[in-house]
A and B are shown apart, each in its own frame.
Chain A
Amino acid sequence: MNIYKYFALISTIFIAVIFQPTFLARLSLPGATPDLVIVMVCCWAVTKGPEVGAIAGFLAGFLIDVAPPGAHLMGIASIILALIGYAIGIVGGGPSRSFSRPLVISGVGATTFFLFRTISGVLVGNDISLYNFSINFLTQGIYAAALAIFVYPGVTFLDKKLGPVSRSDELRMK
């Protein structure tokens, strides 16, 4: 990871955080709101491995917590997302020819994040019906996989454009 790639990482996540409430939330699609931020984190983690995954997750979580209209407890989202990014980097990181893998991983990542959020919501005392939960859970995974179709090529493109894969990166993948 050189400095340009970190810059690309930060700006893509920032853009995702900006467009999440202003664009995707306003589409009012059936079921859950597509979660662009988690998809962005998953794609970076798949492309660059656990370390970048954890950093991307932390950044995304921090931005989600401080950006309006967020009003929940600061720091929770960054813990959860950093762990998800790390785990995805371990399980699914590394160069691969398969195109379906990042889609599946994004779907799994998004539903995991949604599960955590629901659990924290229930702990705070929200009354969530099983029906609503299962609809949102399913649509969340499907939307995430669909978003990854566009996001993953973008991330790998940025990764290739901004300098060759360094030796330390290759080592880290192994």
Chain B
Amino acid sequence: MRDSTRLRTVLAVLLLISLTLVALELRSSGTGFTKSIRTISFNIISPFQKSARSFTDSVQNFGSTWREIRIAREKVKDLESENLDLKEKLANTDENRRRAAELDALLKIAGLGTYEIVPARVIAIGAGQDYSWTVSIDVGSKDGITADMSVISGLGLVGRTISVADSTTLVALLADPSSKVGARIGGKSELGFISGNGLPGELEFEIFDPLSEINEGDRIVTWGSEGGRPFVSGVPIGEVIGVKSSPGLLSKTAKVKPFVKLSTLDLVSVIVEAPRIDPRDSLLPPMPVIPTPTPAITVSPSPSPSQK
């Protein structure tokens, strides 16, 4: 009997603490006490996450060759260490090559748009269990990052920064239900809003003018916020894959597939300085070229005056 009282007391105390946290957070709405708890925990936990991340990397690089190496270990002991060394190097080269290609793409997009960027790696991905899409990256206020900056990858817009600790930053991705981005159709000037609905491969584009013409294959770029924050202008977002016309409504909506694959992010960069000139559509990837049949030209010899 005494025991069940104790059990109930423990449960009641735990629930009370949790409710207090909820109340504090609701009252201060992300500032004050709960904010400082978050900042402290970010600073404590993110080093662990970083080392776990590098551990995961080595496991992934290693995983495919693990079996062969185990056989080799049984056979020749010294060959094993050499083998392992070489194979790990090889796996790393592939990984590095991929990373270099991603960096190249990032530099290209930053150069075209004359953005000033800080490159970063994704260290933790929100599990997506509650359909919120956030990631944390390994740069922070020490690198000059503040909240509400655009985050891009080599292919286009990724999201925006929402909260910053010393060396980690939380990024809300495009697919996050809280995300809303001012956007326009590349090549036309139709304006609208891109919003996330919790799915990584599908965004919603709401166009203000219900009479405007929008087709599948139209590409969407950011429209840009005041002073380039949170979103700089002219960053590619995605491609229209379906138009939903709803007569009677004041706006028209379309489904947009983002250029960036949001579920497998690795290298990204944060735009710390917006360009002075709006790059308009210059950052969009080139349109796929439709081959046009070229008429076969047959050269007929022109009659030349015969020499006599």
Name A's B-contacting residues (CB within 8 A): 14, 17-26, 28, 32-33, 35, 50-51, 54-55, 57-58, 61-62, 65-76, 78-79, 82-83, 86, 114, 117-118, 120-121, 124-128, 132, 136, 140, 171-172
What total count of A-B pairs have CB within 8 Å?
Answer: 153
The 4 closest A-B pairs by CB, nearest first: A75-B21, A75-B22, A21-B124, A66-B41
With beta carbons under 8 angstroms apart, the residue of B17, B53, B131, B162 that contacts A58 is B17
Checking B11, B162, B263 against A71 with a beta-carbon cut-off of 8 angstroms, the contacting residue is: B162
Q: Interface with A: B42-50, B95-103, B213-221, which one?
A: B42-50
Q: Is the CB–CB distance between B136 and A69 below 8 Å?
A: yes
Interface size class of B (residues with CB under 8 A): 35 or more
Which residues in B have their C-beta under 8 angstroms from that of A22? Answer: 49, 52-53, 56, 123-124
Binding site for A on B (CB under 8 A): 3, 6-7, 10-11, 14-15, 17-26, 34, 37-38, 41-42, 45-46, 48-49, 52-53, 56, 123-132, 134-136, 162-163, 165, 168, 170-172, 177, 197-199, 263-264
Residues A127 and B197 in contact, CB atoms below 8 Å apart:
yes
- Of all chain A residues, the one with the shortest Cβ separation from B9 is A51
16 contacts between A and B (CB under 8 A): A22-B56, A32-B128, A51-B10, A68-B49, A69-B125, A69-B126, A69-B136, A71-B126, A74-B21, A74-B34, A75-B19, A82-B18, A117-B130, A128-B131, A132-B199, A136-B129
Residues of A within 8 A of B263 (CB): 28
Do the beta carbons of B170 and A121 come within 8 Å of each other? no
Most B CB atoms within 10 A — which of A14, A26, A83? A26
A27 to chain B, nearest CB (A): 9
Chain A residues with CB under 8 Å of B124's CB are: 21-22, 25, 68-69
The reply to whether A68 and B130 contact each other, CB–CB distance below 8 Å, is: no
Give, as a whole number of angstroms, the nearest-CB distance from B287 to chain A: 30
- Given the complex of chains A and B, what is the CA–CA distance between A105 and B198 in angstroms? 29
User: Is there an interface contact between B177 and A125, defined as CB atoms closer than 8 Å?
Assistant: yes
Docked CA distance A126–B129 (Å): 12
Kindly name the residue among A28, A86, A126 whose own CB sees the greatest number of chain B CB atoms within 10 A. A126
CA of A83 to CA of B3 in the docked complex: distance in angstroms? 18
Residues of chain B lying within 8 A (CB to CB) of residue A21: 49, 124-127
Given contacts A75-B23, A78-B17, A86-B11, 13 further A-B contacts (CB under 8 A): A18-B49, A24-B127, A28-B264, A66-B38, A68-B41, A68-B49, A72-B130, A75-B18, A78-B18, A79-B15, A82-B14, A83-B15, A127-B177
